[in-house]
Homo-oligomer: A and B are copies of this chain.
Amino acid sequence: MATIRDVARLAGVSVATVSRVINQKDSVNPETAGQVLKAVEQLQYEPNAVARGLAGKKMGIIALILPDILNPFFPALARGVEDVAHKKGLTVILGNSDDLGLKESSYIKVLKKKYVDGFIIASNTIREEDVESLRKEGIPIVLLDRGLNTTACPVIRSNNREGAKLAAHHLLGQGCQRIAHIYGPQEFITARERLLGYEEVVQGSKGYSPSLMEPGHFDIDSGRKAVEQLFARHPNIDGIFAGNDLMAIGALKALRERGIQVPEQVKVCGFDGIGLTEITEPELTTVAQPIYEMGRLAAQILLDEIESGISGNSLIELDVTLIPRKSTMKEES
């Protein structure tokens, strides 16, 4: 591999001049620039990213830390991030945190040493101190979902409360009287908001009871188990709003096992809008988050901060969309 010195030598100029024409900085005589470019061409010179990184403290890498790429919610997010990064010539380092604060901290520590340009963290367990320390060092960071009190950096999330209300209203509109809610871990702000939205809508209705709410862990199995619990208490449930799609799928499975017809006897609505919802039987009604778009947006905001050096702290709540499908269909009357 040719180095900048090789180019300088061949073009008969100093390395500084070569650097200038490569980066289009400062003024350089067009004629000289021509020589340099010719030499670059001739030697097939490509600047070394690591040397650049060392000098400039930026490796052209953005770090994406998420709980688990195996969770079907995250691939779309990752793809959104990667697509905009790639368009701008940056690459993406992927880290799975398993929602372990410690693992996140350790990633941050390691990646800081690699001079990543910035962080996108999709996490519910990220620690304030970590965010602070990054800010202090001038490393941009964008958060997904988290960040209630954090005014320290941009936060992107969906409008979870509105989404939950959408779901609850939809179920009511489809004729449900006793709507249960399987809620996610309450340390996740998303899960809390969805629960609140549900309560807000359902509280007034006649069938309401706090015992219609059952916790789950945002995975298929806990959705299934929650249904067992719920039906033990309330055999007459006719609608289920699950805090996410995975739990809704679990619910679907449990209902089928019990021989309960969906949507005839019980209607089910999920949350997230992951691809899986299209392949269940019946297809699953869900409140779709613009997942890919969230990834794109996070990356765009991050790149803006990286380029401008200005750090914002906006809280962006994206709109969600109810996608009605067979699992909540009202029988034709």
Within 8 A of B (CB), among A56-106: 59-61, 68-70, 72, 74-76, 78-79, 82-83, 86, 89, 91-96
* A288-303 with Cβ < 8 A to chain B: none
Does A253 touch B at the CB level, under 8 Å?
A: yes
Known contacts: A69-B75, A82-B95. The answer to whether A114 contacts B46 by CB under 8 A is no
Interface presence of A43 (CB below 8 A): no
A47 interface neighbour in B68, B86, B93, B113, Cβ under 8 Å: B113
Does A232 interact with chain B (Cβ within 8 Å)? no
Q: How many chain-A residues does the 8 Å CB contact rule pick out?
A: 46
Tell me whether B93 and A279 are in contact (CB under 8 A): no
Q: Give chain A interface residues in 88-130, CB to chain B under 8 Å.
A: 89, 91-96, 107, 109-111, 113-115
Q: Decide yes or no whether A175 CB sits under 8 A from chain B.
A: no
Tell me which of A48, A50, A51, A220 has the highest count of chain B C-beta atoms within 10 A of its own C-beta: A50
Task: Give the Cβ gap from A193 to chain B, nearest Cβ, in Å.
Answer: 26
Q: Is A256 an interface residue (CB 8 A)?
A: yes
A70 near B61 with CB under 8 A, answer no
* A53 interfacial contact with B, CB 8 Å: yes
**CB of A16 closer than 8 Å to a CB of B:** no
A91 to B110, CA, bound (A): 9
Question: Chain B's nearest CB lies how many Å from the CB of A65?
Answer: 11
On whether the beta carbons of B279 and A113 are closer than 8 Å, the reply is no
A140–B94 CA distance with the chains assembled, in angstroms: 20
The contact sample of 22 A-B pairs, CB cut-off 8 A, is A46-B109, A47-B113, A50-B50, A50-B115, A53-B53, A53-B114, A54-B54, A60-B114, A61-B93, A70-B76, A74-B75, A75-B75, A78-B94, A82-B95, A82-B96, A83-B96, A89-B110, A91-B107, A92-B95, A276-B276, A276-B279, A279-B279
